[in-house]
Structure 1
């Protein structure tokens, strides 16, 4: 009897959580100047960073959300790796999903081609905006002003990709964000040999899994990250690849560090 109750509870929990609509706003982008690929996301759900971002170095980035199908992110990156464009990869993956109208996906390939899909059965407000090298998408939002503001802020910004993604995420939250509230946020940026001492590609990798002000906390964490990890990575890449852009961005970060209280923390 007890085992039967436990089985029923497991089935109940599986049904509830596997069919939950994850209201989310996200941005996917590639920096053609540095070869960085990134995703930033926020939602009123626990640990959205575990669900939405999919990135492959020198290939592209994907945000898979709404009633998220993780296979879409996997499939799209596989198609991109075979030489498909962002649209070709997205169309091919979506065609394989019988519940596609419940999904929302944004894709940017390494060449800067971008596209997105918002299923007809995603919860309002839901929609997306795209431009070369960037895709912004969201569902269960307060309105279209969220994605409109995000893409405008991103396109009008300069500097490290992570910083631009965070500026867009902040602007989306200020414009209304997820109409259910706030809980988690994440940012991931990959660049070949961008990780700690060049061992891997994780240039920026930050998550806030459960916090009343997730975007604010994510920005706070990034303030530390850029001084401790991003600046050294940029300096190393500048030396290895003789790339002036990395050197300029290193100097910008270090200049901010001199005027920041974080250096004394």
Structure 2
């Protein structure tokens, strides 16, 4: 019921992920990231807490593969979970439990990992990773291009209705956290929302760090 890609940008140090599902509000449950640490997903029959545990583990110098291995050994109901995690400089890691739903698969690339369950076909994660590495632009742009490629490759076996993207940079809070929680075309709608937000990202960072020198707000009453 879900396909996702998480990735890092070696130029900027950003981490991020993009995800889509037939279920509502998928990104709110499944994507987690911490600046300077990494990005993780918990999907399939989701336990949102598991992605946070993975991030805490890699924060303290466990490699992604080691973190997943330890979590798998010590977590109840782990065979119902599909997990992925990535840090700044080691190979990403992914896990699909025996009870992962339907057609499911994973693909680990140099700087990205894709995973999905209840897929139309097993090629979807590999296509997302391939397109991510071949694309150019910001991390957010590349993630959304890759997510669309996953949909074009078949996507979920059912119709997707929600999508989201999360990107962290150097601050404690995400600089990009956009979601379409219910739509007939969530990935396309998310990309349009991203193009609206893209030129404003840095403005909102400046407003947080130095409101006295921030750009105009562009709203009624702003002078």
Equivalent-residue separation in structure 2 for 1:115 and 1:153 (angstroms): 19
Matched length: 206
Query: Does the Cα contact within 8 Å between 2:63 and 2:90 map onto a contact in 1?
Result: no
Query: Does the Cα contact within 8 Å between 1:112 and 1:134 map onto a contact in 2?
Result: no
Contiguous gaps of at least 5 residues in structure 1: 1-22, 194-199, 237-265
Query: Does the Cα contact within 8 Å between 1:86 and 1:113 map onto a contact in 2?
Result: yes
* Aligned equivalent of 1:212, options 161, 184, 192: 184
Query: Does the Cα contact within 8 Å between 1:145 and 1:175 map onto a contact in 2?
Result: yes
Report the alpha carbon displacement of residue 209 of structure 1 after superposing the two structures with TM: 0.4
Answer yes or no: is 1:137 the counterpart of 2:109.
no
Contiguous gaps of at least 5 residues in structure 2: 207-223
Structure having greater relative contact order (Cα 8 Å, sep ≥ 6): 2
Richer in helix (by share)? 1
Answer yes or no: is 1:228 the counterpart of 2:167.
no
Query: Does the Cα contact within 8 Å between 1:55 and 1:190 map onto a contact in 2?
Result: yes
Equivalent-residue separation in structure 2 for 1:112 and 1:88 (angstroms): 11
Report the alpha carbon displacement of residue 54 of structure 1 after superposing the two structures with TM: 1.1
Equivalent-residue separation in structure 2 for 1:112 and 1:36 (angstroms): 15
Answer yes or no: is 1:27 the counterpart of 2:8.
no
SS of residue paired to 1:51: helix
- TM-score under structure 1 normalisation? 0.74
Answer yes or no: is 1:99 the counterpart of 2:71.
no
* Aligned equivalent of 2:141, options 148, 163, 170: 163
Report the alpha carbon displacement of residue 145 of structure 1 after superposing the two structures with TM: 2.0
Bigger radius of gyration, 1 or 2? 1
Equivalent-residue separation in structure 1 for 2:73 and 2:62 (angstroms): 15
Q: Deviations over 1:153-197 (max 9, x none)?
A: 01111220000000000001111111111110000000013xxxx
Report the alpha carbon displacement of residue 111 of structure 1 after superposing the two structures with TM: 1.6
Equivalent-residue separation in structure 2 for 1:210 and 1:59 (angstroms): 30
Report the alpha carbon displacement of residue 113 of structure 1 after superposing the two structures with TM: 2.3
Match of 1:84 in 2: 62
SS of residue paired to 1:105: strand
Cα RMSD, aligned residues only: 1.5
Equivalent-residue separation in structure 1 for 2:90 and 2:133 (angstroms): 13
Match of 1:181 in 2: 159
* Aligned equivalent of 2:38, options 60, 70, 85: 60
- The structure 1 segments of at least 4 consecutive aligned residues displaced by more than 4 Å after TM superposition are none
* Aligned equivalent of 1:114, options 92, 96, 120: 92
